[in-house]
Every structure is written in C-alpha cells, then in structure tokens.
Amino acid sequence: MLLKIATLAIFAPQITKSVSAQSITDKSCVADIVGEDIGSQVNIRSGAGSIFSVVGTVSVGNLVIVANDDQNKSAVVSPLSRKDSEGNVWYLTTRLRASEYKGWIKADFLRLRCPNP
C-alpha cells in the first residue's frame, strides 16, 4: 500500500522573517491534515518543498491553523500561500494560535475550512 506523505516546513526565526505580513486571528482558516490512513505520520520539512530535510512528523487527522496574508487588505479571509519551484502551493500553518511553531504544508494535504466574511 502506498502512503501519501504531506510535507510541512518549520522555519527558524530568521527565515520566518522573510515571510512578510502573516497573522493568526479568530478569522484564520483551519485545515485538516489529509492522507490515506488516519494517524499515519507525515513529514515535517525545513523548507517548502520535498528537497528540504525532514525535521519532524505530524499525524494525518490533526488540525492546523492557516496564517492570514495581512498584505491582502480586503475583508475576505486570505490564507497565506506560496508556490515552490515546481508550482505546488503551500500554506503557512501553525498548530496553536499562540504558538511560534510555524511551517508550510503542501495544499494537496490540506482540507481548508475558512470562516465566511
């Protein structure tokens, strides 16, 4: 059986600073980590892409919070995303609202749930 592995990137403080205008608020989207088997482990990576080293794991079925893109000044919720060199979309996520634990997870492995404006 093949197991799909999601990748989540953890950024050190100096790298996180390069991602401008991000916040976690009551209006942030949340996302379920999705995969074939509930509880299976997905890789957490040091950068947004499979070329980065694995620094930890997170289980399928867990919930993450997606940071807002504060540069988008509209009233619409705007999850912060970036594309990697292969064109894959990644979202900046955290496990807890007050957490400094932030990282990027590939959109293929997220089921986004955003509040209505």
Which of 35, 41, 45 has its CA nearest to residue 59? Answer: 41
| pLDDT bucket at 60, cuts 50 / 70 / 90 | very high
For residues 116 and 56, give the distance between their C-alpha atoms in angstroms, rounded to a whole number: 33
Confidence at residue 111, expressed as pLDDT on a 0 to 100 scale: 92
Confidence at residue 117, expressed as pLDDT on a 0 to 100 scale: 62
Residue 9: is its pLDDT beyond 60? no
Residue 48: is its pLDDT beyond 50? yes
Confidence at residue 11, expressed as pLDDT on a 0 to 100 scale: 39
The total of other beta-carbon atoms located within 10 Å of residue 46's CB is: 19
- The pTM (predicted TM-score) of the whole model is 0.67
Confidence at residue 24, expressed as pLDDT on a 0 to 100 scale: 55
